[in-house]
Amino acid sequence: MRTKESADHPYSMGMLSKKVTCNSHGQDSSYFLGWQEYEKNPYHVSLNPSGIIQMGLAENQLSFDLLESWIAENPDAAGFKRDGQSIFRELALFQDYHGLPAFKEALADFMSEIRGNRVSFDPKNLVLTAGATSANEALMFCLAEAGDAILIPTPYYPGFDRDLKWRTGAEIVPIPCTSSNGFKITASALEEAYTTAHRQNLRVKAVLVTNPSNPLGTTMSEDELNLLVTFVISKGIHLVSDEIYSGTVFSSPSFKSIVEVLSDRPDCRPSVSDVWDRVHIVYSLSKDLGVPGFRVGAIYSSNRTVVEAATKMSSFGLVSSQTQYFLSAMLSDKKFTGRYIAENRLRLRRRHESLVAGLREAGIGCLDSNAGLFCWVDMRHLLNKYTFEAEIELWKKIVYKVGLNISPGSSCHCTEPGWFRVCYANMTEETLGLSIRRIKEFVTASASAATAPTYCSGSGYERRSHRQHSKGSSGKNKFLNKWVFRLSPLHRHEADDR
């Protein structure tokens, strides 16, 4: 029953927790709102050819045929069988939170193989989790108290606001990186973030980086990695390296994992430094193998206390035993993994080249990149004004009129308006071709119009479905205004005029 008090105070309504009613999940970000718009009007080649094309989802669908051929050739793995005999009962009952030893071994070997076998991973240091989402959160629970700070270079993966902050109470302090040097991390940006955290009375517990970067699609240079190691040694803090995209590196420079850098440095030898205990890797098969629905992730750490605590925490997000069984068979097939890794990289490279070339023809540039499932696209010249409001205005046009859901840089906490993350590996080649044509038409129409282009029903840009048409424009405008309003205060400020 609702009392007057509960009606006045939403937090006490129904005696719910603050977590349930607070806004720190980040669901209101344009990153997630774009997904919602796509869901309402998804493109389909024959059923809804004028629908929105999803380019805001970092999925890898380019090598499904390789996985499917392997399954066809190895029916036991997916059929709950070993040597032709059913092991259904064994799998239905097995659920030790340490994970299936054969799977941990296969996963550790796969991680080494992706790094050219230059480093090896000890399965004893692996903790299995339900995806990298769960791995990142569990690590935060291990490293930080509520109110402690984690430093992250910008722009960063929008999901981190949810994964690192929401349930743990940790705070993210951005390490501001800019286009002036290709968004590379500098010593002064690291110091600036550290000082900002101290000014806010936050204790800094770790730096977290994504290598290769989401959303930049770039691998970190050896200089950047060394800078980070030196920084965490000097501050006595942790370093988390989310290497979920390590298998997507399709051209030079090659990928260097943080453990390779540690192994190379004399000042990091375990006999002279405890830094190995403070460096942790997050991994997952969501991107490299393209199976985000299987929910397979991991923490790799040499710190026994972290491994033991995270293993206990993994009870809240285990990988199911049939998934572990299936993948241990697949990843132990070295002939398959070698071919898969090489072919997947080749396909990603070709996709990346088509998108970059198509955008170039439209007069749109991208940050030079060599990894990931997306490009970091520079549309600053298409802004009406150099502000985050103008970025959102442009984004709304691209979602509603052009029919492409891409992610605005502001959703990735980029400090400069006008950058967008555009995904290219979650669709067919034909759909990518169509999205490039839509962008080209949009740019041409924008350029030929003296003022902002007029979009009218029947033109090449009116992409809304009949369902949306029938809603009327006032409802739509109300919704759009809400989007802009919902952006974080940081993004409501105008950036410096160029």
Ligand X SMILES: Cc1ncc(COP(=O)(O)O)c(C=O)c1O
The token duo for 211 is 């290598």
The residue number whose beta carbon is nearest to ligand X equals: 131
- 49 near 41, Cβ under 8 Å? no
The reply to whether 34 sits near ligand X by the rule CB under 6 A is no
Q: Which of residues 42-81 bind ligand X (CB under 6 A)?
A: 58
Active-site residue 165, yes or no? Answer: no
State the nearest-atom distance from the C-beta of 103 to ligand X, in Å.
16
The token duo for 448 is 């030929």
Active-site residue 237, yes or no? Answer: no
* Angle between the N-to-C axes of helices 334-361 and 321-332, in degrees from 0 to 180, rounded to the nearest 10: 90
State the nearest-atom distance from the C-beta of 283 to ligand X, in Å.
9
The reply to whether 317 sits near ligand X by the rule CB under 6 A is no
- 168 near 141, Cβ under 8 Å? yes
**149-153/171-175 β-pairing:** parallel
Q: Nearest to residue 296, comparing CAs of 307, 313, 311, 282? A: 282
Report the sign of the C-alpha dihedral through residues 131, 134, 137, 139, in that order: negative
State the nearest-atom distance from the C-beta of 192 to ligand X, in Å.
23
Report the sign of the C-alpha dihedral through residues 344, 127, 214, 461, in that order: positive
Exactly one of 109, 242, 288, 378 is catalytic; name it. 242
- 35 near 57, Cβ under 8 Å? yes
State the nearest-atom distance from the C-beta of 215 to ligand X, in Å.
8
Exactly one of 31, 157, 194, 461 is catalytic; name it. 157
- 218 near 256, Cβ under 8 Å? no
Identity of the residue, 210 or 219, whose beta carbon is nearer to ligand X in the bound complex: 210
Length of the chain: 498
State the nearest-atom distance from the C-beta of 295 to ligand X, in Å.
7
Identity of the residue, 209 or 436, whose beta carbon is nearer to ligand X in the bound complex: 209
Q: Which residue has the tokens 């490299």?
A: 288
Q: Give the DSSP letter of residue 219.
A: P
Exactly one of 244, 281, 398, 439 is catalytic; name it. 244
Identity of the residue, 58 or 127, whose beta carbon is nearer to ligand X in the bound complex: 58
State the nearest-atom distance from the C-beta of 262 to ligand X, in Å.
21
Identity of the residue, 238 or 463, whose beta carbon is nearer to ligand X in the bound complex: 238
Cis peptide bond prior to 155, omega within 30° of 0: yes
The reply to whether 292 sits near ligand X by the rule CB under 6 A is yes
Which residues lie below 8 Å from residue 450, measured CB to CB, with a gap of 6+? Answer: none
Identity of the residue, 214 or 387, whose beta carbon is nearer to ligand X in the bound complex: 214
x/- mask, ligand X, residues 268-287, rule CB under 6 A, reads ----------------x-x-
Sequential DSSP letters for 275-342: GGGGEEEEEESTTTSS-GGG--EEEEES-HHHHHHHHHHGGGSPPPHHHHHHHHHHHH-HHHHHHHHH
* Binding residue for ligand X, selected from 42, 159, 169, 317, defined by CB under 6 A: 159
Active-site residue 283, yes or no? Answer: no
Active-site residue 281, yes or no? Answer: no
Identity of the residue, 163 or 391, whose beta carbon is nearer to ligand X in the bound complex: 163
Identity of the residue, 63 or 210, whose beta carbon is nearer to ligand X in the bound complex: 210
In Å, what is the CA distance from 284 to each residue of 243, 281, 315?
8, 10, 17
Q: Which of residues 121-140 bind ligand X (CB under 6 A)?
A: 131-133
Per rule CB under 6 A, count of chain residues that contact ligand X: 14
State the nearest-atom distance from the C-beta of 291 to ligand X, in Å.
9
Q: Which of residues 199-238 bind ligand X (CB under 6 A)?
A: 210, 214
The reply to whether 297 sits near ligand X by the rule CB under 6 A is yes
Q: Which residue has the tokens 């430094």?
A: 273
The token duo for 168 is 């743990």
The reply to whether 172 sits near ligand X by the rule CB under 6 A is no
The set of catalytic residues is 157, 242, 244, 287
Residues making contact with ligand X (CB under 6 A): 58, 131-133, 157, 159, 210, 214, 242, 244, 284, 286, 292, 297
